[in-house]
A = this chain, B = another copy of it.
Amino acid sequence: MTNNQQRAEILVQALPYIQKYNGKIVCVKYGGNAMINEDLKVSVMRDIVLLSLVGVKVVLIHGGGPEITQMLSRIGKKSEFVGGLRVTDRETADVVQMVLSGKINKGLVNLLESIGGKSIGLCGMDGHLIQARPLKEELGYVGEIVQTNVQPILDVLRMGYIPVVSTVGCDMEGNTYNINADTAAARIAGELGAECMVTMTDIEGVLRDKDDPTTLIKVIRLSEIPELTQTGVLCGGMIPKVQCCVDAVERGVKKVFIIDGRVPHAALIELLTDEGIGTMICA
């Protein structure tokens, strides 16, 4: 067998997986550390263009990460924290909006287009798709979602573009809010009736022993969450992340995958091969 025969063989083995997701909406939540490595980012975008070409309706929802902090420090902005959350004044909210919607969002769009994808970048202001209000008064422009309007995402998909969404929220007074990207992704995936949501993070998934990658839990059913929380398997930053996954499943998303964005082609492996490489949360 020549090398190319093996390649062709591998393409053909992806057939049943392609058929499974063909014409379905898949939300990919992408952010944080998985976004830093430039090569990895290109690789993730290739995966998304490929998924889109084989007929999957991919919606890319992204967060921000270090670039926001970097920019805030660049302008000499000191942040106060209340209960672990950064107090977001007007100026900070503006920086969040600029970095998320102007730099990261359009940068991802540009990358997708350079690879040959067709893409349009949206944020919560476009078509007022994320309507928000203050989460707590003392936190300023940290927002919680009041309502989502996913019509602009559906419109952009219908016209054949890959929608890239940054999770900046807005209200009717023209204020903008910093919205937690995991929360927004879960909400949007639910409203879109997505077949699945893929959360790309920088851990292997949920580990029974967080120091031992061989203890990866492959599947978690909603009913198992309370026990996993009580026994401390779910702890720290993993708790809100899993909570968002639960939220998505409860809003009707069939499966949510927490996968390791540092693994090249993690999304493709999860969706188009027989290997589950992270943790799947389902009803």
Q: Closest Cβ of chain B: how far from A188's Cβ, in Å?
A: 16
CB of A221 within 8 Å of the partner chain: no
Q: Closest Cβ of chain B: how far from A15's Cβ, in Å?
A: 5
Report whether B15 and A14 are in contact in the complex, using a CB–CB cutoff of 8 Å: no
Using C-beta atoms within 8 Å of the partner chain, give the interface range for chain A. 35 or more
Interface-lining segment among A43-51, A200-208, A231-239, A244-252: A43-51
Interface residues of A in 1-33 (CB under 8 A from B): 1-2, 4-16, 18-19, 22
Instruction: Answer whether A264 and B5 are a contact pair too, CB < 8 Å, given A53-B18, A53-B54.
Output: yes
Report whether A47 and B99 are in contact in the complex, using a CB–CB cutoff of 8 Å: no
CB of A279 within 8 Å of the partner chain: no
Interface residues of A in 56-87 (CB under 8 A from B): 71, 74-75
CB of A35 within 8 Å of the partner chain: no
Contacts of A268 in B (CB 8 A): 8, 11-12
Contacts of A2 in B (CB 8 A): 269, 275
Instruction: Answer whether A49 and B126 are a contact pair too, CB < 8 Å, given A114-B174, A277-B4.
Output: no
Cα distance, A6 to B49, chains bound together (Å) = 18
The listed residue with most B CB atoms (<10 A of its CB), out of A8, A71, A107, A126, is A8
Q: Closest Cβ of chain B: how far from A74's Cβ, in Å?
A: 5
Q: Closest Cβ of chain B: how far from A48's Cβ, in Å?
A: 10
Contacts of A13 in B (CB 8 A): 7
Report whether A53 and B22 are in contact in the complex, using a CB–CB cutoff of 8 Å: yes
Cα distance, A107 to B158, chains bound together (Å) = 25
CB of A219 within 8 Å of the partner chain: no
Residue of B103, B120, B123, B159 near A106 (CB, 8 A) is: B123
Instruction: Answer whether A264 and B9 are a contact pair too, CB < 8 Å, given A19-B116, A55-B53, A174-B114.
Output: yes
Offer 24 A-B interface pairs, CB within 8 angstroms, sorted by A. A2-B275, A4-B269, A4-B273, A4-B277, A5-B263, A7-B269, A8-B264, A8-B265, A9-B264, A11-B265, A12-B268, A19-B116, A53-B55, A54-B55, A98-B102, A102-B106, A106-B168, A109-B126, A113-B128, A119-B126, A119-B127, A120-B127, A127-B161, A159-B159
Give 8 nearest A-B pairs by CB, closest first.
A102-B102, A8-B265, A98-B102, A8-B268, A98-B98, A110-B125, A101-B102, A4-B275
